[in-house]
């Protein structure tokens, strides 16, 4: 669905991103993580043809949707007028649109103005309009940054169902490991303009952490990796004897991310 070869993006004299090779298959959901300034948006913008780059980026479809962290719409109209105007349709006569509005619980926000919506409601309205075109390839760049936990969770739950039903290929940039855990088939980690890892989270966990890990004091920076199942018992015993708070994991993304980017 998306193929990148020898991509490099330079701003002035600074190389912001290089990607030797990346293939994303149809229907895959890719979670992209990386520090601020690492090149995540540059990757998205290259795929969308919004920045100049060297190399090849091939999209298998023209039907591409995009949603960024913030959107702006004219504020003289109600949300219903904005949606109907931009999509050139009427909710009453458009089952597909009515269904999306229903799916995202947006019905009671239609008569409001955009500026009076919460962050989560704003993103749901934008998603309704982006998904109306039934994109085959969808880019979400920090869609949930700044939203509170519950709004994020509601959005992710909706999207999980939607993506399953529609087989959408998704590239989702996010700060939240938990969103990757819930949605993504593969994790792409970008650090300082380089791809550090691209694989199924489970594979990355096994490769960089081990069989399992104990996170002590709920802090991903303080963890004990377990390489053989037989080691687990004695480590757990020790933690209990110390009176430490800990939890066991076999797939914590935060842990994987920290190990790969900080070289733990």
- Footprint of Mg ion (CB under 5 A): 40-41
Interface with ligand ADP, residue 42, by CB under 6 A: yes
Phi, psi of 220 (to 5 degrees): -60, -20
Q: Which contiguous run of DSSP H or E holds residue 41?
A: helix 40-47
| Share of the chain residues as helix, strand and coil, in percent rounded to the nearest 5 | 40, 25, 35
**15 versus 117: smaller Cβ distance to ligand ADP:** 15
Closest CA to 62 of 135, 112, 168: 135
User: What's the order of all strands across the beta sheet hosting 223-226?
Assistant: 223-226, 212-216, 246-249
Interface with ligand ADP, residue 191, by CB under 6 A: no
CB of 60 to ligand ADP, least distance (A): 24
Interface with ligand ADP, residue 34, by CB under 6 A: yes
Q: Which contiguous run of DSSP H or E holds residue 140?
A: strand 137-141
123 binds, among ligand ADP, Mg ion, none (CB under 5 to 8 A by kind): none
Interface with ligand ADP, residue 39, by CB under 6 A: yes
Interface with ligand ADP, residue 11, by CB under 6 A: yes
Quote the tokens at residue 13: 């004299």
Q: What's the half-sphere exposure (Cβ side, CA atoms, 13 Å) at 188? A: 25
Among 37, 85, 107, 217, binds ligand ADP (CB under 6 A): 37
Interface with ligand ADP, residue 151, by CB under 6 A: no
13 binds, among Mg ion, ligand ADP, none (CB under 5 to 8 A by kind): none
Interface with ligand ADP, residue 41, by CB under 6 A: yes
Interface with ligand ADP, residue 168, by CB under 6 A: no
Among 4, 29, 33, 40, binds ligand ADP (CB under 6 A): 40
> Binding pattern to ligand ADP, positions 92-121, x when CB under 6 A?
------------------------------
Rounded to an integer, what distance in angstroms lies between the CA atom of residue 240 and that of residue 150?
A: 33
Q: Do residues 252 and 205 touch, judged by C-beta distance below 8 A?
A: yes
Interface with ligand ADP, residue 16, by CB under 6 A: yes
Q: What's the half-sphere exposure (Cβ side, CA atoms, 13 Å) at 163? A: 25
Give the helix ranges, DSSP H, for 88-148.
95-103, 119-132
Q: Which residues are at the interface with ligand ADP (CB under 6 A)?
A: 11, 16, 34, 36-42
């Amino acid at each position: 669905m998306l193929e990148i070869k020898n991509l490099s993006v330079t701003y002035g004299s600074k190389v912001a991103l290089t990607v030797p090779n990346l293939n994303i298959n149809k229907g895959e959901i890719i979670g992209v993580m990386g520090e601020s300034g690492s090149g995540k948006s540059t990757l998205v913008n290259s795929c969308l043809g919004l920045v100049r780059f060297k190399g090849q980026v091939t999209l298998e479809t023209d039907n591409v949707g995009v949603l960024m962290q913030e959107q702006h719409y004219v504020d003289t109209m109600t949300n219903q007028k904005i949606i109907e105007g931009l999509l050139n349709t009427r909710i009453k006569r458009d089952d597909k649109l009515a269904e999306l509005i229903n799916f995202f619980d947006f019905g009671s926000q239609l008569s409001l103005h955009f500026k009076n919506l919460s962050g989560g409601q704003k993103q749901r309205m934008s998603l309704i309009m982006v998904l109306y075109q039934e994109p085959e390839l969808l880019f979400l760049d920090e869609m949930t940054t700044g939203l509170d936990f519950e709004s994020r969770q509601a959005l992710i739950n909706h999207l999980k169902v939607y993506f399953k039903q529609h087989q959408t290929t998704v590239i989702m940039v996010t700060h939240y490991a938990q969103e990757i855990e819930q949605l993504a088939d593969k994790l792409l980690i970008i650090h300082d303009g380089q791809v550090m890892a691209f694989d199924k989270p489970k594979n990355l966990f096994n490769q960089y952490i081990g069989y399992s890990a104990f996170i002590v004091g709920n802090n991903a920076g303080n963890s004990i990796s377990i390489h053989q199942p037989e080691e687990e018992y004695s480590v757990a015993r020790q933690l209990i004897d110390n009176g430490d708070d800990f939890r066991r994991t076999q797939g914590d993304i935060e842990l994987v991310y920290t190990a790969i980017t900080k070289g733990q």
